[in-house]
Amino acid sequence: MSTLVLYHGTTSVCSQKVRLALEEIGLDYDSRLLDLQKGDQFAPDYVALNPEAVVPTLVDDGLVVVESSLILSYLDRVHNGGALMPAAPDRGVAARHWLLRGLAIHGAINTLSFSTVMRDKMLATKSQDEIDASLARMPDPVARAKRRDLLDRGLASVHVDQALRHVGLWFADMNAALRQTAWISGDAFGLSDVALLSYLDRLDRLGFDGLWADRPAIAGWLAAMKARPSYARAIADLIPDGAATAMRTAGQTHWPELSDRWTART
């Protein structure tokens, strides 16, 4: 039997995706938790595994797998007989499309997190020199420039407009799917549901649930996902109550401005 090793972060949405899949499939793994606030992801040994210095990274008997959507697909195919991938061709195509769209959706969640609560925390706890040093360690120059703009401009950043566009497309398609079937994957729970939960959960934890207030099907899906045992083990149990409350309280201070941007989007 292969030994799975997962390098991950407690609140990283991509790490949460993979932990959720591991719980749903019922796979044991060796947990290597990285402290992203301290910069563990920049350690040379880790960068040798993941040159982008991001989490998660899965190692399966020496095979290194990076990028969370690819990891989900790999785990389901190799360790679960593809049981979470819908068998019907149209559903399978839709599921694979959601996995690809995860890149854009992740970028949007990253933007909405770092233009609000994470920006507040960094500006309150780090000196400008510390912030500059942290940014300098990011290997991707485009990601580095985006992060700097978000820290400088907050919700006024042009990246927020891009994020809200992607969120709008995501919600429209997600809502349409959920008006037809109980799960995004179809009549049965599947890989699309695993792939999208952590992103909506982050928005909810930020206090931005007003983004889907006019789409009750999305709220119902989120409640159903939270009721699954995997949610507690992969996400909720790893976040202290105090931290969760602080995040939502901090996020709600930004909601009026974000709501205006959301309403005004074209």
In a domain, 84, yes or no: no
pLDDT < 70 regions, the chain: 1-2, 266
CA dist., res. 46 & res. 57, Å (int): 9
Residue 113 shares a structural domain with residue 48 = no
Is 225 found in the same domain as 112?
A: yes
User: Which letter does DSSP use for residue 189 in this model?
Assistant: -
- Where in 74-136 does DSSP place strands (E)? none
pTM across the whole model:
0.96
Question: How many helices (DSSP H) and strands (DSSP E) are in the chain?
Answer: 13, 4
What is the pLDDT, as a whole number, of residue 3? 87
pLDDT attached to residue 266: 54
- Per-residue pLDDT at 165: 97
Last residue of a domain, which of 53, 79, 105?
Answer: 79
User: Is 148 among the domain residues?
Assistant: yes
Collect all residues with Cβ–Cβ distance below 8 Å to 234 and sequence separation of at least 6.
16, 19, 20, 22, 23
Please report the DSSP string for 160-189 in residue order.
HHHHHHHHHHHHHHHHHHHTTSSBTTBSS-
Cβ partners under 8 Å of residue 145, min gap 6: none
Find how far residue 98's CA is from the centre of its chain. 13
Phi, psi of 122, deg, nearest 5:
-65, -45
Cβ–Cβ under 8 Å, residues 212 and 174 = no
Helix (H, G, I), strand (E, B) or coil at 266: coil
Range of the domain at 45: 4-79
- The tens digit of pLDDT for each residue in 137-163 reads 999 999 999 999 999 999 999 999 999
Burial of 191 (0-12, 13-18, 19+ CB in 10 A): buried
d(CA 199, CA 261): 19
Assess whether 135 and 232 both reside in one domain: yes
Q: Are 244 and 205 in contact (CB under 8 A)?
A: yes
Q: Burial letters for 113-122: b for 16+ Cβ neighbours within 10 Å, e otherwise?
A: bbbbbbbeeb
Contact 164, 105 (CB under 8 A): no
Is 192 within a domain? yes
Distance CA 130, CA 100 (A): 34
The CA-to-CA distance between both ends of the chain, in Å, stands at 52
Provide the number of structural domains found in the chain: 2
**Residue 59 φ then ψ, to 5°:** -120, 120
Examine the fold and report which residue of 26, 60, 79 is the final residue of a domain before the chain moves on: 79
47 and 120 housed in the same domain: no
